[in-house]
Structure 1
């Protein structure tokens, strides 16, 4: 080998090594700094709280875990959610939401859809297939397939819930003592459809049962609460809502502009969900819609799921989460309040999914009745899914 060729080879190796390290560890490095749990001592959970928590059907409406890690079966050192921690937290139902596009520099006030896309970096670091580098539907399907793969690999640990019949089977298995978790697939932002109504049917066929119409920016369906126009549903957005109604898919109004919320309530024949939020009357932040609009969602039979992070509830401690739940119950009624953690959604929390008994303890200390705790921790989610999932006996993953 000539000296010149040798120097070229050495230079190539020296260049390739840091790139390999970036691709190997870059994603976990970013996640560790994005999805944090505040350092804290283990909570003191009473025997009564442990007994009660073990008897609950616990459900959470929102976790973005699939964008970070394909392997949910191993307990991770980063983030908030995996199968071992869900089991430790006695979680029966977890909505896994997929993220297809996120502005690199974003806030909760006004974002431009054309700003650099942070999810492209995610695709590169995780070496996603080329088709998922730019096509948002493919990014969504890729993340959904991660959940399906886990369910196929470990059916004793995870069952994908697509229908009322699947839900019935899950609850029967858990009542018989199985520690199986029911995973549902949702979409965060209707831009994942890429403006194609046929993409909605593709997602449904793959097992997706909930779609949030917006995320951080305005899209082809309508305005975001954090977008530039704050506009209502577009003609395409109305077509999507009507098709979702026909498919018995759940409409998620988290991140939707006030005008979009009003339009959905006017045309949809089904109750919506707000999968992760706070209450403006309890935490006056631009992340939250006004209480009067929440009341309209509740009047339509909707469910409002309380988040675990400060930009939604101001005080993200367990006591703050409990206080936000109390506010929601007192203001909107016990039948309409649920959990919507936003775990692994670029959030800093005070607990992870293994520590949900901390909330049961906190609610007992705050004077919640056992019935209130059962409903908020998952009973309302179970009832809503029983009433609003497709009734058909679809194959369970």
Structure 2
């Protein structure tokens, strides 16, 4: 087996001279380590599963963020977003759906998301990846399996929303050509494709959105409906000839917010062969049983969705990063906190204990599954097997 190496982002450039220097949050030790009372046998089993199985995060932003979130907007505008290679190397993940920074274009100009900003970010990230022998940009499932065999990491280029394509369906072809293999239809606010989950009205998928769904099916690009409105989700599931992904969400039956999906959407997704990735960004997958957001809250959504959808349709899309995620929500005003006053009693947190960053996520997820008596076969399914089944079908 090849032992892959890693280094910092943009190793061919001089930081502070050829691109701006920022103090970045640490990849390790930013918050206390999650505490486990594992027996030696349980710990060995967790480590074995993390080492031997294909482990896929359906949704993360595995970037380093500024230590001081007041630097966030100039950092994003610099077009030199650093990837947390050292932390990712220690995570045990085989593949991560890396969602770039397409959702943050709204802070770079008054016009919101722009095609030029997306291409700039995508091009810079691809250039950086090309200089890392640890990283493979996955264009098919063979790339993911090869990364597993070689001890590397497969990056699946992903976008949270299709907003930047505007009304040009051929831009989907261009993104596919650049290596993008998964794309969300809408990011909370409506766009030309359909309604987002933050809107007061729900118009569902537009005629243009229908064309885009068909084009993504024809190309073999996975469709994500995480931030779409309920009707847009159902329209896309009905129309798509391929299974869809809900890469990062939870169950509204556990926590009644618009960011969570209702049972109707979850069951429709499962019936068409799709997979849900359980979300863990701060103040999303809270539960009444665990109103202080933590690994336990997230796993309340997991067990509910397993019972509802079947274990073969559930996975994990933690939606984490290296830095202060709560601070990021406030800095970008992404709407996560906008309706907290209407929620059931809960306790705000500074971070989600046990699922704070991409390095710790899957050790803790597997540890929870081990301590709750899930079999190796069941764990294999939810940490990567279910996702690989969908990718094999959609990517071909």
The one of 87, 99, 112 equivalent to 1:97 is 99
CA 1:37–1:341 in structure 2 vs 1: closer, same or farther (change >3 Å)?
Answer: farther
Q: TM-score, normalised by structure 1?
A: 0.74
The answer on whether the counterparts of 2:369 and 2:379 sit within 8 Å (CA) in structure 1 is: yes
CA 1:63–1:357 in structure 2 vs 1: closer, same or farther (change >3 Å)?
Answer: same
Q: Identify the structure with the greater helix proportion.
A: 1
Does 1:354 find its partner at 2:351? no
Instruction: Kindly tell me the number of residue pairs found equivalent between the two proteins.
Output: 324
The answer on whether the counterparts of 1:212 and 1:254 sit within 8 Å (CA) in structure 2 is: yes
Q: TM-score, normalised by structure 2?
A: 0.75
Q: 1:326, 1:332 → 2: CA distance?
A: 10
**Post-superposition offset of 1:64:** 2.8
**Post-superposition offset of 1:119:** 4.0
5 Å-filtered alignment, 1:142-291, equals 142-155=120-133, 157-163=134-140, 167-175=141-149, 178-291=150-263
Aligned counterpart, 1:388: 394
Aligned counterpart, 1:364: 370
The answer on whether the counterparts of 1:184 and 1:208 sit within 8 Å (CA) in structure 2 is: yes
Aligned counterpart, 1:76: none
Aligned counterpart, 1:5: none
CA 1:141–1:100 in structure 2 vs 1: closer, same or farther (change >3 Å)?
Answer: same
The answer on whether the counterparts of 1:170 and 1:180 sit within 8 Å (CA) in structure 2 is: no
Q: 2:376, 2:153 → 1: CA distance?
A: 23
The answer on whether the counterparts of 1:287 and 1:311 sit within 8 Å (CA) in structure 2 is: no
5 Å-filtered alignment, 1:315-330, equals 315=290, 316-330=293-307
What SS does structure 2 have at the residue aligned with 1:383?
helix
CA 1:203–1:172 in structure 2 vs 1: closer, same or farther (change >3 Å)?
Answer: closer
Unaligned runs of 5+ in 2: 1-16, 64-74, 330-350
The answer on whether the counterparts of 1:101 and 1:119 sit within 8 Å (CA) in structure 2 is: no
Q: 1:332, 1:210 → 2: CA distance?
A: 22
5 Å-filtered alignment, 1:130-149, equals 136-149=114-127
Largest Rg, 1 or 2: 1
The answer on whether the counterparts of 2:185 and 2:225 sit within 8 Å (CA) in structure 1 is: yes
Q: 2:132, 2:21 → 1: CA distance?
A: 25
The answer on whether the counterparts of 2:147 and 2:154 sit within 8 Å (CA) in structure 1 is: no
Unaligned runs of 5+ in 1: 1-19, 73-81, 104-116, 122-132, 392-397
Q: 1:37, 1:378 → 2: CA distance?
A: 27
CA 1:150–1:179 in structure 2 vs 1: closer, same or farther (change >3 Å)?
Answer: farther
- Comparing both chains, which one has the higher relative contact order based on Cα–Cα distances under 8 Å and sequence gaps of 6 or more? 1
